[in-house]
């Protein structure tokens, strides 16, 4: 081998001296190990000699890089410094950063390139590769093989714990950890103090802090034997019911648990909480992880489901609920796009949560970095789209079949008894027809439609001889025509046609305990669950959900079909109780503008029709289900049922289907030609007898069933308990059995039965379908298509759990590690691929995974093993040296200090304050519940602000590692949130109310124990006491001052009374004398309306105009809450201080913001109003523009205003004080804001809306007003009382003043001024008092505000 190559470009010649010699063995090895794989993996695709050479650069042989590219020479062998290649790899070139569209090469790899260049760039690739070689090198097969070598795809090794020195390590795990320190020469922290350790353990296992008693017990036990104390505490906490709540919440993060679909309307996912409860139960019961995974993938299909006998639940069937937590848009016009996206979401979650792989990254192309092909993604896509979303019955098989056999058996007996009874009747039927009773006569008269069996009789009963023969001939001709049409209808080449009498029901997807996978033969019937009638109807062949009970569930779906141009869908269906019938486009779960859905309630047969024109080209299916079984569109009815006989897709030009007389009256016409009415009557009897006998034998035709059905429905055969005593007993028995059929328990789920391999979407575009991809697992493990007619989920679950798949076990042990230690061995728990982090302790991970599987996939055992390590005991306190050597604490020589999760912070406050409600399971609650946070509802468009601010994840994707952010909103929440403050108050009360805590110091100690689980230091006690004293001092001063002012006020008030009262009494006596009997009198209003008298102002000029349908009736102004209101003429004088008063009765107490009476500017912008339930539901309030003068009055919730008119008044004083009254008495407490003046001319009074003029719905009042008044001044309390009831003893202030002497008046004026001052002083003091929190509450809140409270050491 000589030094020079033929094609070395001139520029290289000088520098490329003999360093280009044949590589030595060591150099070759270096190249093969460190350079070639990187070139192949990251460069060949774009820089090869086979046709793709971006930037005119080729890197697949030596000559390529030597020639350089458009940007010039890459490097000079032997001289790495400043070379273009290294600059590009280091991303130092502004416009040239390689590799493109991928992560930067690691520093180690770049270093290798530097070394390689330095050693002269030895490269054994002397010739450009052949086309085949290039294809092979860049082919997916080669790439896959290479990528399969990634660590996480390698088999789990049965790693042995390394030998370590000393006696630090207590367990095998510790040995692995200790061994890791040697590289950085780390020394472990000390063991954490017992009270810190127990707090860590309790939070990690249950999400709750230990109680002070538990902490004390633990520290005592630990003092005697630390290891056994830890073991006991661990076992106790693992056995706690709170363990499941804590770990279920982790799991919920992995599967983006949510209770609504998001998007416009944000509809609920019915029964979502059932899944959360399932997780909690399963984790508490330590159900093996492999079983839970199986259940998540295919729990509804398991041949031996896990049954919870106590609850009568099929637990396994709840597992697949997570498929349903995708986000769903509102009425998308591209339904397939929506399906693609929701399915991607499902795949994303399943692959990240259980495999630690980002399979959804391979939707548009093969994965950029991992061993996942685009075909892999589509194999999953085929599996997922072979299911359909639904709400499913998750009762245990036993509960689902309660009394089913007995009901069926009793029904057979009822059929026999009834048939026997009916056959007796047929003997008399001919005679009955000839001499009909009134009931039969009515039926004959009503039989106007040729489909009615008695129609022929109605037509012919009065004719004889030739007329009869002719009449029958005509009827027979019509029948024959109908029969011909019926036959044509059945054979017509519709685009789709399913006739259940032909066995087509077996091709449909059926689910629920009311359906059995096939159609019932003609003659099926239902025994009515109550009432005098026994049988409802005799039914033609079809699928019925209620043949045993209408509490049974039924979900019936047609096969998928592709919609052609201008097609119309028809289904012959009947249903009751909120049955849902709809066509489903691309599995879309909601209804909406172009997604029609029909609820059936009337129980009558109908041909339901939908035009499919809009959806031409899309896949759809038909769904009919009982009320509770739709994915989203459920109704609450426990009793609901449907029946279906036929469905079809009609092509344009084809006639619409209709019910033919031939299918109902054939039993009569098939018997030949009668020659007289007597013969016809006999023929009826015979037809009836044939039909009943066929029913008896359970071998009837549809026509016979329909024929007989007419007689049963019409009451023409004995069908009542009274008339059929032998059946009556059986019916009673049947009804008893049916009553015991339980209402099913339900959960979100998916339904199987219409599997199909779906096309690969080229470049991810659903508009470019390619070849179908079979349902199978990832080709990196097993590319063999599943052998199944179902979706393949069962096979997928088994494939995931195959021993040669190392991911499942590794991923879950890593998740457990992450949640216990605060950082996973792989720090990216959802991504074990190339863009994830590498494991810090790969051997330990394999050791754990091996043991985990060997020990039966027990999460509790796994967690226990981790919790009992010495590593878990390490203190978070560390030396600077440790922190410097291992800043991210990857090697765990100390504990991670971490912030508590949102739920743990909230739960810890609840527990510390004593408010925690420990009731498990059940439904979901509003945020202000005292239950644990895991039970707070998760509504996507209305996520709880407290939990969200502390990083509870938005449910959009798998989230194995939560964010741990620091934002001011968190501080603001802990400083000012009413929930936090109320819990602080409760905590303060708890400590103060504890009789065992006799001193302030004892109480402070208790506060520390309850919040921080430790004793305070002497200094902490001292500063706490000082804090209490400073705050307490403020409080005391205020209280003292208030007492003094209060005394002065009462003295002044007494003085006022001593002057006023004698005058008032004198006047009253005089009036009595004058009138004899006193009439009630009140203060004089500025305007008054009495709706008994009309709409005129009884005092002033503010007459009302009625608008929007408002009316005066029965002495009241009637306001409908939708548009009705009344509006006065403009104010005749400006208003400052004022009083609004009304007598009003409400239509309902749930209305929000309805205005009773408002003074407003004519444009409706500024207003003061009496409103109901505006900011505070169920309460009276002073409404105002933008709530400027609105605040809770803190009065009691209104309870009576629906039953009777109540009196409500609001006084607006000149100083801005606002006082509410109800029934003449003060309502809540006054508050002070600013005063809003209203000018004359452009102000007015409105009734029935908060403010106008053009206000829309929601602000209108629904109720009646009896009368109303407006005062141009602020009334005194006594005046309001007088106005409210009319007070016979009322003497107006004006009259009193007039009757006083001058000196009395002067004295009174002075007194009033001093009263005003005192009142002002009082309200200032009250404000200070109210805003200086109780010092103990203050201290309690301070404890919640401490970082030590929200951080876990």
Member of 145, 487, 771, 964 binding other proteins (CB under 8 A): 964
Nearer to other proteins, 736 or 971 (CB): 971
Binding to other proteins (CB under 8 A) within 614-643 occurs at: 614
Binding to other proteins (CB under 8 A) within 1299-1328 occurs at: 1328
Per DSSP, the three-state class of 442 is: helix
For other proteins (CB under 8 A), the number of binding residues is: 94
Member of 1251, 1264, 1269, 1273 binding other proteins (CB under 8 A): 1251
Report, in Å, the least distance between residue 325 CB and other proteins. 12
Beta strands in 473-554 (DSSP E): 496-499, 509-511, 524-527, 535-539, 543-544
Residue with tokens 């001499």: 435
Q: What residues contact 1026, with CB distance under 8 A and at least 6 apart?
A: none
Per-residue binding letters, 1126-1165, with other proteins (x by CB under 8 A): -------------------------------------xxx
Per DSSP, the three-state class of 1259 is: coil
Member of 15, 183, 228, 333 binding other proteins (CB under 8 A): 333
Member of 973, 1145, 1177, 1289 binding other proteins (CB under 8 A): 973
Member of 815, 1259, 1267, 1273 binding other proteins (CB under 8 A): 1259
Binding to other proteins (CB under 8 A) within 335-374 occurs at: 337, 341, 348, 352, 358, 361, 369
Q: Which stretch binds other proteins (CB under 8 A): 57-65, 211-219, 324-332, 602-610?
A: 324-332
Binding to other proteins (CB under 8 A) within 1184-1213 occurs at: 1186-1187
Residue 530: which of 639, 671, 642 has the closest Cα? Answer: 639
Per DSSP, the three-state class of 533 is: strand
Nearer to other proteins, 535 or 631 (CB): 631
| Angstrom distance (rounded) from CA 198 to CA 873 | 10
Per DSSP, the three-state class of 265 is: coil
| Angstrom distance (rounded) from CA 292 to CA 312 | 19
Q: Which stretch binds other proteins (CB under 8 A): 162-170, 677-685, 910-918, 975-983?
A: 975-983
Member of 1255, 1268, 1270, 1296 binding other proteins (CB under 8 A): 1255
Residue with tokens 């350089």: 68
Q: Which stretch binds other proteins (CB under 8 A): 164-172, 851-859, 1020-1028, 1129-1137?
A: 1020-1028
Residue 74: which of 63, 82, 85, 64 has the closest Cα? Answer: 85
Structure tokens at 986: 């409760």
Report, in Å, the least distance between residue 1330 CB and other proteins. 8
Nearer to other proteins, 12 or 981 (CB): 981
Q: Which stretch binds other proteins (CB under 8 A): 239-247, 308-316, 513-521, 1246-1254?
A: 1246-1254
Q: Does 976 bind other proteins (CB under 8 A)?
A: yes
Binding to other proteins (CB under 8 A) within 756-815 occurs at: none
Residue with tokens 């009569």: 668
The long-range contacts involving 1002-1005, CB below 8 angstroms and separated by at least 24 positions, are: 1003/1336, 1004/1028, 1004/1339
Running DSSP on this structure, what letter comes out for residue 1053? H
Binding to other proteins (CB under 8 A) within 1034-1053 occurs at: 1034
Report, in Å, the least distance between residue 596 CB and other proteins. 10
Cα–Cα distances in angstroms (integers) from residue 1260 to residues 614, 1127, 1151, 1203, 1256, in the given order: 40, 13, 9, 20, 8
Centre a 10 Å sphere on the Cβ of residue 133 and count the other Cβ atoms it contains. Answer: 16
Q: Does 932 bind other proteins (CB under 8 A)?
A: no
Binding to other proteins (CB under 8 A) within 266-285 occurs at: 266
Residue with tokens 């005593």: 725
Q: Which stretch binds other proteins (CB under 8 A): 828-836, 903-911, 1082-1090, 1124-1132?
A: 828-836
Bridge partners of 480, per DSSP, are none
> CA quadruple 81, 85, 86, 90: dihedral positive or negative?
positive
Report, in Å, the least distance between residue 726 CB and other proteins. 57
Nearer to other proteins, 699 or 972 (CB): 972
Nearer to other proteins, 4 or 1187 (CB): 1187
Residue 665: which of 716, 708, 604, 712 has the closest Cα? Answer: 708
Cβ atoms of residues 1103 and 1097 within 8 Å = yes
Member of 330, 562, 689, 1041 binding other proteins (CB under 8 A): 330
> CA quadruple 432, 436, 442, 445: dihedral positive or negative?
positive
Member of 963, 1074, 1203, 1234 binding other proteins (CB under 8 A): 963
Member of 20, 981, 1135, 1181 binding other proteins (CB under 8 A): 981
Member of 69, 262, 312, 1220 binding other proteins (CB under 8 A): 262
Q: In sequence order, what DSSP letters do the residues of 845-904 get, joined into one string? A: HHHHHHHHHHTTS-HHHHHHHHHTSSGGGB-S---HHHHHH-TT-SS-SSPPPEEPPHHH
Structure tokens at 1222: 């109800």
Member of 92, 154, 765, 879 binding other proteins (CB under 8 A): 879
Q: In sequence order, what DSSP letters do the residues of 184-209 get, joined into one string? A: GT--PPPBPPHHHHHHHHHHHHHSSP
Binding to other proteins (CB under 8 A) within 889-918 occurs at: 897, 899
Q: Does 972 bind other proteins (CB under 8 A)?
A: yes
Q: Which stretch binds other proteins (CB under 8 A): 158-166, 620-628, 1195-1203, 1337-1345?
A: 1337-1345
Bridge partners of 1168, per DSSP, are 1159, 1184
Angle at 684 between CA 680 and CA 688, to 5 degrees: 165
| Angstrom distance (rounded) from CA 480 to CA 468 | 18
Member of 951, 1015, 1090, 1295 binding other proteins (CB under 8 A): 951
> CA quadruple 46, 50, 55, 60: dihedral positive or negative?
positive
Report, in Å, the least distance between residue 348 CB and other proteins. 8
Question: What are the backbone angles phi and psi of residue 398, rounded to the nearest 5°?
Answer: -65, -45
Q: Does 1023 bind other proteins (CB under 8 A)?
A: yes
Q: Which stretch binds other proteins (CB under 8 A): 3-11, 557-565, 731-739, 1257-1265?
A: 1257-1265
Q: Does 940 bind other proteins (CB under 8 A)?
A: yes
Nearer to other proteins, 310 or 1019 (CB): 1019
Member of 511, 970, 1013, 1095 binding other proteins (CB under 8 A): 970
Binding to other proteins (CB under 8 A) within 589-608 occurs at: 592-594
Residue 1048: which of 1307, 1278, 1317 has the closest Cα? Answer: 1317
Q: Does 1215 bind other proteins (CB under 8 A)?
A: no
Per-residue binding letters, 1067-1106, with other proteins (x by CB under 8 A): ----------------------------------------
Report, in Å, the least distance between residue 499 CB and other proteins. 30
Q: Does 954 bind other proteins (CB under 8 A)?
A: yes
Q: Which stretch binds other proteins (CB under 8 A): 173-181, 241-249, 876-884, 1080-1088?
A: 876-884
Q: Does 1258 bind other proteins (CB under 8 A)?
A: yes
Bridge partners of 1232, per DSSP, are 1217
Residue 934: which of 958, 893, 906, 909 has the closest Cα? Answer: 906
Report, in Å, the least distance between residue 1097 CB and other proteins. 25
Task: Note the helical H segments in 98-193.
Answer: 107-118, 131-138, 140-147, 172-181
Binding to other proteins (CB under 8 A) within 91-130 occurs at: 103
Q: Does 310 bind other proteins (CB under 8 A)?
A: no
Structure tokens at 241: 């019911």
Residue 962: which of 949, 974, 953, 972 has the closest Cα? Answer: 953
């Amino acid at each position: 081998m000589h030094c020079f190559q033929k094609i070395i470009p001139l520029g290289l010649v000088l520098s490329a001296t003999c360093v280009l010699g044949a590589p030595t063995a060591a150099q070759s090895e270096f190249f093969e190990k460190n350079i070639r794989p990187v070139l192949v993996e990251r460069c060949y695709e774009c820089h090869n000699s086979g046709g793709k050479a971006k930037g005119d650069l080729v890197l697949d042989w030596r000559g390529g890089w030597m020639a350089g590219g458009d940007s010039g020479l890459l490097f000079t062998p032997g001289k790495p410094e400043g070379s273009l290649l290294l600059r590009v790899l280091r991303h130092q070139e502004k416009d040239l950063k390689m590799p493109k569209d991928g992560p930067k090469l690691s520093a180690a790899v770049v270093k290798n390139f530097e070394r390689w260049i330095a050693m002269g760039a030895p490269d054994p690739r002397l010739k450009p590769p052949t086309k085949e070689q290039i294809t092979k090198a860049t082919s997916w097969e080669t790439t896959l093989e290479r990528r399969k070598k990634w660590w996480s795809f390698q088999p789990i090794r049965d790693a042995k714990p390394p030998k370590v020195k000393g006696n630090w390590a207590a367990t095998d795990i510790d040995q692995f950890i200790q061994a890791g320190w040697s590289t950085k020469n780390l020394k472990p922290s000390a063991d954490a103090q017992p009270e810190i350790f127990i707090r860590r353990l309790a939070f990690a296992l249950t999400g709750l802090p230990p109680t002070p008693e538990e902490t004390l017990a633990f520290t005592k036990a630990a003092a005697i034997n630390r290891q056994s104390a830890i073991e006991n505490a661990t076992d106790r906490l693992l056995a706690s019911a709170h363990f499941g709540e804590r770990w279920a919440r982790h799991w919920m993060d992995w599967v983006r648990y949510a209770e609504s679909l998001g998007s416009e309307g944000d509809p609920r996912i019915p029964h979502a909480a059932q899944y959360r409860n399932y997780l909690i139960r399963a984790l508490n019961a330590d159900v093996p992880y492999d079983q839970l995974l199986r259940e998540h993938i295919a729990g509804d299909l398991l041949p031996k489901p896990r049954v919870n006998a106590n609850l009568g639940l099929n637990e396994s069937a709840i597992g697949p609920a997570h498929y349903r937590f995708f986000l769903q848009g509102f009425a998308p016009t591209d339904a397939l796009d929506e399906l693609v996206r929701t399915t991607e979401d499902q795949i994303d979650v399943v692959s990240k949560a259980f495999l630690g792989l980002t399979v959804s990254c391979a939707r548009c192309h093969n994965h950029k970095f991992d061993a996942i092909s685009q075909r892999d993604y589509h194999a999953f896509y085929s599996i997922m789209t072979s299911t359909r979303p639904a709400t499913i019955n998750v009762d245990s098989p036993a509960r689902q079949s309660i009394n089913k056999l007995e009901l069926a058996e009793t029904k057979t007996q009822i059929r026999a008894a009834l048939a026997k009874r009916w056959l007796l009747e047929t003997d008399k039927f001919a005679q009955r027809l000839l001499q009909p009773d009134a009931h039969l006569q009515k039926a004959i008269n009503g039989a106007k439609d040729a489909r009615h069996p008695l129609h022929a009789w109605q037509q012919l009963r009065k004719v004889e001889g030739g007329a009869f023969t002719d009449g029958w001939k005509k009827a027979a001709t019509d029948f024959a025509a109908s029969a011909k049409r019926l036959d044509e209808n059945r054979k017509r080449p519709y685009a789709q046609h399913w006739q259940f009498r032909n066995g087509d029901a077996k091709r449909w997807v059926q689910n629920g305990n009311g359906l059995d996978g096939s159609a019932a033969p003609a003659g099926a019937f239902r025994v009515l669950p109550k009432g005098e009638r026994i049988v409802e109807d005799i039914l033609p062949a079809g699928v019925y959900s209620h043949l045993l009970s209408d509490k049974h569930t039924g979900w019936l779906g047609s096969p998928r079909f592709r919609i052609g141009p201008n097609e119309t869908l028809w289904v012959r269906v009947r249903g009751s109780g909120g049955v849902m019938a709809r066509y489903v486009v691309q599995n879309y779960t909601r209804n909406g503008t172009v997604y029609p859905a029909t609820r059936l309630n009337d129980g009558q047969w109908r041909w339901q029709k939908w035009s499919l024109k809009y959806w031409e080209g899309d896949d759809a299916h038909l769904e009919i289900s009982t009320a509770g079984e739709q994915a989203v569109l459920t109704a609450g009815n426990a009793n609901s049922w449907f029946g279906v006989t036929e469905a079809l897709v009609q092509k344009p030009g084809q006639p619409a289907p209709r019910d033919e007389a031939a299918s109902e009256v054939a039993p009569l016409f098939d018997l030949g030609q009668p020659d007289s009415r007597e013969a016809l009557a006999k023929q009826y009897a015979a037809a009836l007898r044939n039909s009943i006998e066929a029913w008896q034998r359970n071998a009837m035709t549809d026509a016979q069933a329909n024929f007989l059905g007419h007689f049963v429905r019409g009451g023409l055969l004995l069908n009542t308990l009274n008339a059929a005593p032998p059946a009556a007993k059986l019916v009673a028995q049947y009804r008893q059995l049916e009553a015991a059929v339980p209402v099913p328990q339900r959960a979100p789920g998916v339904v199987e039965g219409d599997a199909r391999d779906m096309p690969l979407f080229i470049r991810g575009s659903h508009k470019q379908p390619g070849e179908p991809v079979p349902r199978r697992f990832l080709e990196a493990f097993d590319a063999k298509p599943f052998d199944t007619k179902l979706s393949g989920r069962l096979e997928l679950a088994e494939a995931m759990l195959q021993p040669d798949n190392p991911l499942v076990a590794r991923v879950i042990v890593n998740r457990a590690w992450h949640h216990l230690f605060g950082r996973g061995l792989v720090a990216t728990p959802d991504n074990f691929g190339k863009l994830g982090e590498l494991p810090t302790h790969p051997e330990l991970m394999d050791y754990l995974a091996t043991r985990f599987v060997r020990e039966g996939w027990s999460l509790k055992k796994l967690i226990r093993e981790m919790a009992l390590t010495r590593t878990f005991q390490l203190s978070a306190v560390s030396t600077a040296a440790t922190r410097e050597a291992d800043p991210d604490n990857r090697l765990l020589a100390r504990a991670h200090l971490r912030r508590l999760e949102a739920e743990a912070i909230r739960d810890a406050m609840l527990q510390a304050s004593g408010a925690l409600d420990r009731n498990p399971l059940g439904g979901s609650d509003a945020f202000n519940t005292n239950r644990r946070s895991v039970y707070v509802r998760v509504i996507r468009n209305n996520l709880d602000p407290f939990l969200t601010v502390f990083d509870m994840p938005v449910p959009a994707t798998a989230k194995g590692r939560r964010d741990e952010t620091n934002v001011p909103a968190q501080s603001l929440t802990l400083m000012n949130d009413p929930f936090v403050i109320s819990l602080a108050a409760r905590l303060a009360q708890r400590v103060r109310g504890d009789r065992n805590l006799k001193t302030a110091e004892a109480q402070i100690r208790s506060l520390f124990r309850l919040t921080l689980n430790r004793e305070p230091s002497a200094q902490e006690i001292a500063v706490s006491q000082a804090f209490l004293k400073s705050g307490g001092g403020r409080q005391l001063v205020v209280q003292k001052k208030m007492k003094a002012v209060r005394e002065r006020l009462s003295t002044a008030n007494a003085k006022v009374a001593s002057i006023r009262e004698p005058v008032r009494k004198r006047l009253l006596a005089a009036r009595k004398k004058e009138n004899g009997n006193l009439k009630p009198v009140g203060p004089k209003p500025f305007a008054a309306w009495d709706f008994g008298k009309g709409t005129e102002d009884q005092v002033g000029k503010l007459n009302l105009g009625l608008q929007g349908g408002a009316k005066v009736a029965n002495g009241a102004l009637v306001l409908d809450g939708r548009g009705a209101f009344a509006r006065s003429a403009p104010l005749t004088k400006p208003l400052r201080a004022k009083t609004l008063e009304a007598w009003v009765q409400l239509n309902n107490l749930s209305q929000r913001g309805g205005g009773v009476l408002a003074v407003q500017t004519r444009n409706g912008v500024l207003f003061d109003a009496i409103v109901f339930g505006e900011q505070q539901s169920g309460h009276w309030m002073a409404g105002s523009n933008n709530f400027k003068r609105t605040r809770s009055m803190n009065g009691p919730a209104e309870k009576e205003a629906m039953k009777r008119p109540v009196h409500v008044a609001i006084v607006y004083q000149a100083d801005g004080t606002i006082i509410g009254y109800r029934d003449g008495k003060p309502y809540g407490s006054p508050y002070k804001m600013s005063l809003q003046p209203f000018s004359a001319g452009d102000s007015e009074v409105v009734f029935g809306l908060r403010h106008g003029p053009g206000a829309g719905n929601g602000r209108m009042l629904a109720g009646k007003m009896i009368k109303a008044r407006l005062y141009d001044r602020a009334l005194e309390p006594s005046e309001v009382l007088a106005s409210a009831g009319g007070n016979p003893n009322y003497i107006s202030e004006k009259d009193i003043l007039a009757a006083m002497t001058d000196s009395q008046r002067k004295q009174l004026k002075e007194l009033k001024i001093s009263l005003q001052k005192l009142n002002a002083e009082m309200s200032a003091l009250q404000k200070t008092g109210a805003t200086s929190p109780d010092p103990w509450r203050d201290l309690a809140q301070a404890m919640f505000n401490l970082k030590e409270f929200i951080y876990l050491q």
